């Protein structure tokens, strides 16, 4: 049987740059499976650096993240912008356009070539879900989508880490999800650029919005007294000068966090949400915060890749594996401990 011709990498990169969606899908698969040469490929494809507006949606399960995301995606499509979507929430029914059916044109989303949706498996990712998901976001960005949207369930460290790969983080809460204190405990207050209290049609929405505002004010009041911002500037002073009388919910970089109410079934409040996202984008660019966030992300990514490579280098080395086997015997014989064996193996690796 003739051998199936293998696609040379340069070719994939060329097709990717030409905007061919199958090439994006293939690049994502290669990154997800960490196939031979995937880092070479990522290097090649990600040279241009980030340029998309990245928006993250997080919050408890059932809050309406997918529903809101679909509205936002539709709005961008109306502006004729390309949209990449990454869903880490395994319950998000994006495939097949099932989400809310025709009510918000999710069917259009599933067949629209200006939209690319990828669901990430929440388990069993080879490189760690967070790192791989960030790579998928980067690929969608590099592919040329103007907007890249990501949805995660705001519960664990992994999800929070993924959310931090967005420029604008929207935390979606609902009356059922508990009070503002719970959101603070879950670390959601720290990462939110915009708060949305969804299911505004349900009782308790207005009260929750009020609680969130109060919690933000409290944090702004206490948390900012003696903190300095990212750039060593006393932002308390900056914030005071900018708004001498108000006590707004300003975060440590000087952004006033809006708390919005929406009804994702009806689409109520979605317009205000779009405005808030655009306003945040403009603020990110003007304040230098976008640059600061991208630098932070680059730093994190370098660490991720170094750690992943070190792990791979360690456990793919015959010498290290032999040392591991021998070490287990020596521990069993009472001649060593895991610490002494680990030190020897590290010495082998770092010599």
- Residue ranges that bind ligand GDP, judged by CB under 6 A: 61-67, 89, 91-92, 100, 198-199, 201-202, 263-265
Tokens of 127: 């490189």
**Minimal distance in Å, beta carbon 209 to ligand GDP?**
13
Indicate the residue among 62 and 178 with the shorter CB distance to ligand GDP. 62
**Helix and strand tally (H, E) in the chain?**
15, 7
* 138: nearest Cα among 75, 60, 49, 58: 49
**Minimal distance in Å, beta carbon 63 to ligand GDP?**
4
264 binds, among Mg ion, ligand GDP, none (CB under 5 to 8 A by kind): ligand GDP
Residue 172 CA to residue 222 CA, distance in Å, equals 24
**Minimal distance in Å, beta carbon 205 to ligand GDP?**
9
158 binds, among Mg ion, ligand GDP, none (CB under 5 to 8 A by kind): none
Question: How crowded is residue 331: how many other Cβ atoms within 10 Å of its Cβ?
Answer: 14
Indicate the residue among 151 and 304 with the shorter CB distance to ligand GDP. 151
Indicate the residue among 59 and 127 with the shorter CB distance to ligand GDP. 59
Q: Strands 115-119 and 147-153: what pairing?
A: unpaired
Q: Which residues bind Mg ion (CB under 5 A)?
A: 65-66, 89, 92
281 binds, among Mg ion, ligand GDP, none (CB under 5 to 8 A by kind): none
Residue 138 CA to residue 81 CA, distance in Å, equals 17
Residue carrying the six token digits 């990430």: 120
Indicate the residue among 67 and 236 with the shorter CB distance to ligand GDP. 67
- 227 and 196 Cβ atoms separated by less than 8 Å: no
SS3 21: helix
253 binds, among Mg ion, ligand GDP, none (CB under 5 to 8 A by kind): none
63 binds, among Mg ion, ligand GDP, none (CB under 5 to 8 A by kind): ligand GDP
**Minimal distance in Å, beta carbon 77 to Mg ion?**
19
**Minimal distance in Å, beta carbon 100 to ligand GDP?**
6
Residue 268 gets which letter from DSSP?
B
**Minimal distance in Å, beta carbon 161 to Mg ion?**
18
CA gyration radius, the chain: 23
Residue carrying the six token digits 């003696």: 226
């Amino acid at each position: 049987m003739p051998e199936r011709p293998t696609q040379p990498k340069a070719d994939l990169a060329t097709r990717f740059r030409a905007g061919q969606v199958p090439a994006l899908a293939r690049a994502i698969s290669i990154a997800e499976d960490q196939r031979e040469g995937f880092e070479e490929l990522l290097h090649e494809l990600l040279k241009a650096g980030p340029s998309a507006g990245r928006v993250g949606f997080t919050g408890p399960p059932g809050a309406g993240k997918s529903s809101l995301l679909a509205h936002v995606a539709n709005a961008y499509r109306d502006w004729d912008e390309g949209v990449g979507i990454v869903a880490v929430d395994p319950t998000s029914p994006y495939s097949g356009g099932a989400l809310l059916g025709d009510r918000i044109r999710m069917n259009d989303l599933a067949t629209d070539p200006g939209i690319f949706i990828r669901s990430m498996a929440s388990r069993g990712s080879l490189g760690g879900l967070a790192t791989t998901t960030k790579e998928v976001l980067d690929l969608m960005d590099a592919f040329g989508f103007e907007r890249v949207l990501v949805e995660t369930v705001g519960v664990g460290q992994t999800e929070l880490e993924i959310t931090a790969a967005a420029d604008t983080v929207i935390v979606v809460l609902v009356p059922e999800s508990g009070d503002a204190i719970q959101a603070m405990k879950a670390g959601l207050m720290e990462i939110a650029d915009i708060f949305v209290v969804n299911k505004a049609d349900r009782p308790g929405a207005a009260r929750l919005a009020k609680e969130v505002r109060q919690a933000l004010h409290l944090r702004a009041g206490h948390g900012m007294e003696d903190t300095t911002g990212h750039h060593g500037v006393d932002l308390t002073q900056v914030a005071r000068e900018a708004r001498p009388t108000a006590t707004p919910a300003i975060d440590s970089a000087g952004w006033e966090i809006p708390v919005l109410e929406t009804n994702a079934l009806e689409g109520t409040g979605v317009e205000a949400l779009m405005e808030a996202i655009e306003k945040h984008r403009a603020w990110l660019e003007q304040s230098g915060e976008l640059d600061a966030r991208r630098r932070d992300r680059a730093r994190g990514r370098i660490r991720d890749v170094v750690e992943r490579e070190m792990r791979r280098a360690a456990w793919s080395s015959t010498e290290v594996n032999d040392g591991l086997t021998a070490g287990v015997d020596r521990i069993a014989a009472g001649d060593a401990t895991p610490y002494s064996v680990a030190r020897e193996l590290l010495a082998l690796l770092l010599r």
